[in-house]
A and B are shown apart, each in its own frame.
Chain A
Amino acid sequence: MSSSPPFRVAVTLALAAALVFLTVPVLAIFVDTSPSQLLSSLGDPAARDALRLSVVTTVSALVIIVAVGTPAAYALASRDFRGKSVVTTLIELPLVLPPAVAGIALLAALGPRGVLGSALEDLGISLVLQTAGVVVALVFVSAPFYLRQAQAAFAAVDPAVVHASRTLGVGEAATFARVLIPSARSGLVAGAALAWARALGEFGATLMFAGSFRGITQTVPLAIYDRFSEDFPAALALSAVLVCVSAALLLSVKLVTDRGVVGLAAR
């Protein structure tokens, strides 16, 4: 099959335009940041606090998402029930919510005068302006990424291997651990990495729900915003760190999923 030369040129130009537009801003961060600036900005205690907080909150959020999301995604993938598409849509809704709306929604639900917030308050739990509030915001915005991927991964597992496990004397829960999770592994890892990347970059919902207090709720994206008016180079340096971590995550997702595809092709 051959395509006409003008069409080929047009396609190539479109790709070039997309590539330039998407990569130049990212590269500019590194052009404007000298390695020494990068290192010195990491020496800044406030920046280190932000990095530490980002690691702690995103890892906590990820643990919660994986622990609850894995069985939940399996329930969605393996069962047929009335209103399943409604449930799926509701779960995926945070994907399309603007971050500011997500922040307002969390305040309305879990804030001091929120639907559930007062009940939490009675129990002595306060989330607003707390590190725990950051984790809640991160779980809210990034869990759908994991749930979607995990549901698709479980749905793709051949039901016969589950039946095989059961007839081999292994119960439902043990089959989930020994067959379903390993079979869906590459999809689960990809989903977790996407959720983690989304959580690392989370800004709007965190700012509205948890605020931006150094060492308590100020994660890296918030610290970048905090600096950008007064200390642009420092903001650039922190951005460079975030780009590196996110790129590493994206790369690992590609590696894992590509291996999954190769494994399927060999079968």
Chain B
Amino acid sequence: MLHADVRTRVGRIELDVELDVGRGRCLALAGPSGAGKSTVLRIIAGIVRPERGRVSCDGQVWLDTAAGVNLAPERRSCGYVFQDYALFAHLNAWQNVAYSLRSLPRHERRRRAEELLARFGLAHLCEARPATLSGGERQRVAVARALARRPSVLLLDEPLSALDARTRASAQRELATVLRETGVPALLVTHDFAEAATLGDEVAVIDDGQLLQRGIPAELAATPASAFVADFIGAVVLRGFARAGAEGMTVVELEGGGSIASTDAAAGPVAASVFPWDIVIEPPGADGVSSARNRLPAQVQTVTTIGGRVRLGLGAAQPLVAEVTEAAVSELGLAPGVPVVATWKAAATRLLAG
């Protein structure tokens, strides 16, 4: 089990983070760039010393500023996968992986490194220099290198961000398998909520040095704790003023005009959030086709296909995003400029403190 409780100033942000990760669990630290995510990893690994804090792993104290304990990085047992992988350019793939195995005899080092590389499907590239490897191959060498000396913690800094979209999907599946199999606590940093939700057993959203919310991905999606979290995880966020309405509903008068209803209770200025896949598009003038209570007239601005789903950018008083099927696009003739009505249920509308 990894436990970290650190407080320090980094540049303009005040980092204040407490987290723990159990054996075989992966916590994804997700947030925008500059939120302090990577600094958390660097503090745990001993690369950066915080002003105050305590880091321990499996009962061993790595850092305790109050007690004057601060182990050098080489004495903490962290497998660290760096953002750009930081492979040693002067060593070939197996030598990179075997780098930490100094105590073993050479043939044993090589055997271990080849075994690991084979596990990542790179048996044929043992002799290759990093400069000749593709992004995906480099990423796998970096992960193999981090695992070679059986670390007590795995730290991954944006492990997929340096890959192109096509490689990323397969690398992500592979990494998920590795994280399941290693059995050590893993802490993964990413700016992409979807990536965090796929790779992490739990997701912690961080912004401006503070942890805003931590939970399993579905939990965060269902009940985002703040407008920032809702926006970060991909929900549409609409600002307005809430007041009690009929039938126990809350009515939100939206900024810029229009009103929507929610089953959440709230009063005063709020942010209402709804997920793009909960929004149903109807042609204008088809009132009452669905039972959805919330209906906002809008105009299609962009149509983007992503893996079988279509994201619609909608122009309204406040911009909306809806996710629909390709069938719906052709059926309704959706194209930029087409007027539509965006509809969704009051029960799919979360109200958050603005």
Contact = CB atoms under 8 A, between A and B. Distances in A.
Interface of A: 158, 160-161, 163-172, 178-179, 182-183, 185, 263, 266-267
14 contacts: A158-B84, A163-B45, A163-B47, A163-B86, A165-B88, A166-B73, A167-B146, A169-B102, A170-B100, A172-B72, A182-B90, A183-B90, A263-B89, A266-B131
Nearest to A181: B90
Contact of B86 (A160, A182, A185, A266): A160
Task: Point out which of B88, B91, B130, B145 has the most chain A C-beta atoms below 10 A from its C-beta.
Answer: B88
Q: Rank and list the top 6 A-B pairs by shortest CB-CB distance, nearest first.
A: A166-B73, A160-B86, A168-B100, A182-B90, A164-B86, A167-B80
B79 to A, nearest CB: 8
Contacts of B145: 164, 168
Contacts of B100: 168-170
Contact of B99 (A165, A172, A185, A267): A165
Interface of B: 42, 45-47, 72-74, 76-80, 82-84, 86-91, 99-100, 102, 130-132, 145-146, 148-149
Contacts of A168: 74, 99-100, 145-146, 148-149
Nearest to B48: A163
Given A171-B72, A183-B89, 19 more contacts: A160-B86, A161-B86, A161-B89, A163-B82, A163-B86, A164-B80, A164-B145, A168-B149, A169-B100, A169-B149, A170-B99, A170-B100, A172-B72, A178-B99, A182-B88, A182-B91, A183-B90, A266-B131, A267-B131
A163 B47 CA distance: 7
B86 A171 contact: no
Contacts of A170: 74, 99-100, 102
A232 B145 CA distance: 64
A195 to B, nearest CB: 23
Contact of A158 (B46, B86, B131): B86
Contact of B45 (A158, A167, A178, A263): A167
| Interface SS majority for chain A | helix
A163 B73 contact: yes
A164 B82 contact: yes
Nearest to A164: B86
Contact of A166 (B47, B88, B148): B47
A263 B131 contact: yes
Nearest to B90: A182
B131 A160 contact: no
A163 B80 CA distance: 9
A165 to B, nearest CB: 7
A178 B47 CA distance: 18
Contact of A167 (B73, B83, B87): B73
B104 to A, nearest CB: 12
Task: Point out which of B74, B76, B83 has the most chain A C-beta atoms below 10 A from its C-beta.
Answer: B74
A138 B45 CA distance: 45
A183 to B, nearest CB: 6
A131 to B, nearest CB: 37
Nearest to B47: A163
B74 A169 contact: yes
B208 to A, nearest CB: 25
Nearest to A157: B89
A166 B72 contact: yes
Given A266-B131, A267-B131, A167 B74 contact: yes
Nearest to B73: A166
A163 B72 CA distance: 11
A164 B145 CA distance: 10
A179 B88 contact: yes
A164 B102 CA distance: 15
